[in-house]
């Protein structure tokens, strides 16, 4: 925030539970008319614990923050002329990611939600992130993704790819540096044999997955 303010950007901060639709609606209604809402980024921090360390209450907390908030933003976005509604999620919702099963259900839901939002006229895009070389990201999750054949993507590259993803005007994209040699070698144990049928081996051309 300090960096944005220093560059001349006007920044306002509001502490709101995005899972509370009434509170969120009140916060949005408080945006000055001269600065209309034109874009929304929904970003959540995953729980630090791995699957075996979770209980129902913690999974419910992550679901509420990740899914309920996104659903509310989509509903509110339909009454504004948004240029983009970006739903940040984990690649764990798209590709098998051992150790990150706690993230998979909620983040897979976001990709489906983006398509539903588009059906309502809201230009939503779910961006499924792999590992990013950023000290502010969840260390445990990033380390687990690297273990699963996804080396960290440089932060500058990630930012450029995010811009491309939003401008592509599609419902769902995956942004990740995937080690296809590792991924295809472990396809059988990960249960992704058919998912990678189009990849002939380590020399295959990487595929970009997206959906409308």
- Residues 16-21 have a mean pLDDT of 90
Residue 5 reports pLDDT greater than 70: yes
**Cα(168)–Cα(163) distance, rounded to whole angstroms?**
9
Distance, CA of 154 to CA of 165 (rounded, Å):
16
Calculate what percentage of the chain has a pLDDT beyond 90. 32
Within-domain flag for 57: yes
pLDDT tens-digit map of 37-95: 999 999 876 555 454 566 677 677 777 778 999 999 999 998 999 999 999 988 876 77
Q: What is the mean pLDDT of the chain?
A: 78
Residue 193 lies in a domain: no
Q: Is 175 helix (H, G, I), strand (E, B) or coil?
A: strand
Quote the number of domains for the chain.
1
In whole angstroms, what is the distance from residue 131 CA to residue 153 CA?
Answer: 6
Strand 172-175 relative to strand 210-211, pairing? antiparallel
Tell whether 60 is covered by a domain: yes
CATH number, position 25:
3.40.50.720
The Cα–Cα gap between 25 and 23 comes to 5
pLDDT for position 52? 54
Residues 6+ away with beta carbon under 8 Å from 65: 18, 19, 44
pLDDT of residue 46: 59
| pLDDT at residue 178, rounded to an integer | 81
Please give the radius of gyration of the chain, using alpha carbons only, rounded to the nearest integer. Answer: 18
Nearest CA to 109 out of 145, 151, 63 is that of 63
- The residue among 84 and 131 whose pLDDT is bigger is 84
Tell me if 145 sits within 8 A of 100, measured CB to CB: yes
| Domain span including residue 75 | 18-29+36-177
Residue 78 · residue 129 · CB < 8 Å: no
């Amino acid at each position: 925030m300090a960096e944005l303010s220093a560059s001349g950007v006007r920044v306002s901060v509001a502490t709101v539970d995005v899972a509370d639709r009434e509170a969120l609606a009140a916060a949005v209604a408080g945006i000055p008319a001269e600065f209309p809402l034109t874009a929304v980024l929904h970003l959540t921090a995953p729980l630090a614990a791995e699957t075996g360390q979770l209980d129902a209450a913690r999974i419910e907390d992550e679901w509420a923050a990740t899914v309920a908030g996104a659903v509310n933003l989509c509903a509110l976005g339909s009454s504004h002329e948004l240029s983009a509604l970006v739903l940040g999620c984990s690649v764990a919702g798209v590709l098998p990611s051992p150790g990150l099963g706690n993230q998979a259900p909620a983040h897979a839901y976001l990709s489906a939600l983006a398509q539903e939002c588009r059906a309502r006229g809201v230009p939503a895009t779910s961006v499924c992130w792999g590992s990013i070389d950023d000290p502010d990201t969840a260390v445990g999750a990033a380390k687990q993704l690297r273990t699963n054949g996804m080396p960290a993507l440089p932060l500058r590259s990630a930012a450029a790819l995010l811009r491309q993803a939003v401008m592509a005007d599609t419902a769902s994209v995956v942004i990740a540096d995937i080690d296809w040699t590792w991924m295809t070698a472990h396809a059988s144990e990960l249960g992704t044999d058919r998912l990678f049928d189009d990849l002939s081996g380590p020399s295959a051309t990487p595929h970009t997955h997206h959906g409308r």
